[in-house]
Amino acid sequence: MVRRLSSSIRTKLEDEGSWFYSPEWWGPDIEHHSHSIFQATSVHGNGVVSVFAYPSSTPTANQWWRTENWLQKRYAEVRSDTKHEQHFKVLGYQWRVLRFNEFTRQSAVKVMAAFEVSDPSSVYYMQQPHVLAVPYTRSMVSAGLTTLSSTSYDLVSAVNGKNKMRILCVGHGGGSLPLFLASKIQGAVIDIVEIDPLVISTSIQAMGFPSYSVAVTPGCRDLSRTDTVDDVLWKGIHERLFLYESDAEKFILKTQNMYDIIFIDAYDGDDVFPRKLWDPDSPFLVALANRLNPYHGTVVVNLHSDDDVQSADASAASIHQPVLPMGKYVSEVCQAYKDMLVCRSSSCGQQHPGVGFTVSVPWVCNTTLVVSRGFGMAAESLDKDSVFNILMSKSASVDKDLNMPFSCSQYLDRRFRLLG
């Protein structure tokens, strides 16, 4: 497996997750030098869960020494009590794609493989936290953080680690979204809820997600202590991730945490967003409303659908027949989240009314839904252009404050629609 890691050369782009690189892992497998590295059958409705590996062209082999030096310095910091230096060698980088039923690309990550020179048999796999390859994850991050920064929330203090930021991720996949957030926001403490233990083990064994993140109960991890290699690779990021095997509804009903922002991306092997996660009469949305900060709480939902949520032309919508299962429910999902999290929260005391909007995701069949409390505008000013202009003006600050590898504005300026 390690020998298949790429050493090919291509001009490096600063953003390694750019869609420019998508041909390396997107498209028919017959066009790639891909191979399967993991496959098992889920008992939680996800069908056949598999991971395919694809050669990655970046970073190029002549740049690996920078990572090797970084690992050596990190080891010296972690093991300051030892007198000997530890040297590392990078074996290469791969794209690894998680699939349900061998066709649905559920997640795509970039993984680095390295080993300790003193022990060539020790090979470590590390998911690259700065790489977001799937466009809808970039859209969720861009829209969610820009909206949160448009409320009274002090995002800069959280980024710098001065304030704690509580984040919930419903649905895990390969783990690229929570890893990215934890690496960019020093104050982020992230709970991740995944119902399928097979998905959890797959992300750790085949996609380089930190094993120390697995939690049994709040405050109690599966592993009693982190080891030296984890400390070297993750530099504390793994200590702010808590990955729970749980049904999302059961988790949100039991937790006492109040969340600043919540990301929801939960689909089964049939590409269906479970109804209980969006039905307005379900316990989930009621509990979610109670666990969301009343003054700035923001929820971001990935809607995987080929239905045109932007279309106001009923006759056109009736002609268009969605192929993906969630197509006909998109409008209902949007309305349910807006009604339950904003319209019914007027008694929470927020200074400003909340907003809800959707944006289309480029290149793939996804829509990002955002619902936020306490958006910084008076009720009479909540029109589409005003909200959009505030978000676009805030996006530049988010880009700078988080040192984003991509521009948030390009994901906001995608058929923006304000929910009525």
Binned at pLDDT 50, 70 and 90, residue 318 comes out as: very low
User: Which of residues 127, 155, 175 is at a domain's end?
Assistant: 127
Same domain, 118 and 143: no
Same domain, 236 and 299: yes
User: Which of residues 76, 104, 127 is at a domain's end?
Assistant: 127
Please give the pLDDT value at position 14: 75
Phi and psi at 125, nearest 5°, equal -115, 130
Same domain, 286 and 182: yes
Counting the structural domains of the chain, the total is 2
* Rg (the chain; Cα; Å): 21
Binned at pLDDT 50, 70 and 90, residue 392 comes out as: very high
Distance CA 262, CA 395 (A): 19
Q: Kind of pairing, strands 241-245 and 188-194?
A: parallel
Please give the pLDDT value at position 327: 58
Closest by CA to 215, choosing from 188, 238, 234, 232, is 238
Other Cβ atoms less than 10 A from the Cβ of 1: the count is: 13
pLDDT, mean of residues 322-329:
58
Same domain, 167 and 80: no
Same domain, 72 and 180: no
Could you read off the pLDDT of 108-128 as tens digits, one per residue?
Answer: 999 999 999 999 888 999 999
Please give the pLDDT value at position 31: 63
Same domain, 364 and 287: yes
Same domain, 319 and 406: yes
Closest by CA to 192, choosing from 213, 222, 212, 211, is 213
Same domain, 36 and 170: no
Please give the pLDDT value at position 352: 52
Binned at pLDDT 50, 70 and 90, residue 333 comes out as: very high
Could you read off the pLDDT of 12-42 as tens digits, one per residue?
Answer: 347 999 999 999 998 776 566 889 999 999 9
Q: What is the pTM of this model?
A: 0.90
Q: Which residues of 372-403 are buried (b: 16+ CB within 10 A; e: fewer)?
A: bbbbbbeeeebeeeebbebbeebbeebbebbe
Could you read off the pLDDT of 211-250 as tens digits, one per residue?
Answer: 999 999 887 899 888 888 899 999 999 999 999 999 999 9
Contact present, 58 and 13 (Cβ < 8 Å): yes
Same domain, 98 and 187: no
Same domain, 207 and 174: yes
Distance CA 140, CA 173 (A): 15
Q: Is 2 a residue whose pLDDT tops 50?
A: no
User: Which of residues 102, 127, 152 is at a domain's end?
Assistant: 127
Same domain, 197 and 59: no
Q: Which residues of 195-227 are buried (b: 16+ CB within 10 A; e: fewer)?
A: bbebbbbbbbebbbbbbbbbbeeeeebeeeebe
CATH code at 146? Answer: 3.40.50.150
- Give the structural domain span for 382: 135-418
* Cβ partners under 8 Å of residue 286, min gap 6: 340
Same domain, 103 and 139: no
- 3-state SS string for 330-369: HHHHHHHHHHHHHHCCHHHCCCCCCEEEEEECCCCCEEEE
Please give the pLDDT value at position 420: 79
Distance CA 107, CA 105 (A): 6
Q: Is 389 a residue whose pLDDT tops 90?
A: yes
Q: Is 367 a residue whose pLDDT tops 60?
A: yes
